[in-house]
């Protein structure tokens, strides 16, 4: 009787613990849950405090703008040329953006707000060309496009 009562209590503890997230699935014989990503930084946090994030891989929510000289992040809530960030992305990133917006090809003039992860750094602009990257104080090297917000 004592063993069956103890087994019943342990079963309730496991069920409650699993419901509350205190017991990993591996402890109950299943696969562990993937850790949740931290919330993305809002772009102005990154632009207003570049020294804090310099050289780090960051997850950010930002509007992706395009002009004939390249891609950039900018936001009307944190204006200024020194707060615009050149964005380096590749064809795979553009393909993901196209899928996320429901298109066969990415339209760079759509200016989507996206969540992305990449390497952020402060630089001294080289001014070698008209490219956004050569004329920006901030660079974001895109690694992963998570999705389009709007």
Q: Which helix (H) or strand (E) holds 53?
A: helix 50-53
* The model's pTM: 0.75
- Angle ∠(63,144,33) on CA atoms, nearest 5: 115
Q: Residue 20 above 60 pLDDT?
A: no
116: nearest Cα among 78, 47, 62: 62
Q: Give the largest CA-CA distance in the chain.
A: 83
Residues 6 or more apart in contact with residue 86 via CB below 8 angstroms:
70, 71, 72, 131, 132, 133, 135, 136, 138, 139, 140
Tens-digit pLDDT profile for residues 67-107: 999 999 999 999 999 999 999 999 999 999 999 999 999 99
Give the model's pLDDT for residue 31.
58
List domains and CATH numbers for the chain.
1-36 (no CATH), 41-148 (2.40.50)
How confident is residue 38, by pLDDT bands cut at 50, 70 and 90? confident
- 42 within 8 A of 114, measured Cβ to Cβ: no
């Amino acid at each position: 009787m004592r063993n069956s009562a103890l087994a019943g209590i342990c079963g309730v503890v496991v069920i409650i613990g699993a419901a509350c997230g205190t017991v990993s699935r591996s402890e109950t014989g299943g696969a562990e849950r993937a850790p949740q990503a931290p919330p993305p930084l809002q772009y102005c946090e990154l632009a207003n405090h570049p020294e804090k994030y310099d050289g780090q891989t960051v997850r950010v929510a930002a509007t992706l703008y395009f002009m004939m000289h390249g891609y950039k992040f900018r936001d009307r809530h944190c204006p200024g040329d020194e707060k615009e960030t050149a964005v380096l992305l590749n064809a795979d990133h553009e393909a993901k953006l196209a899928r996320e917006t429901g298109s066969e090809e990415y339209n760079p003039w759509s200016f989507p707000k996206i969540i992305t992860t990449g390497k952020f750094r402060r630089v001294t602009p080289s001014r070698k060309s008209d490219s956004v990257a050569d004329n920006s104080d901030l660079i974001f090297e895109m690694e992963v496009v998570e999705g389009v917000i709007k």
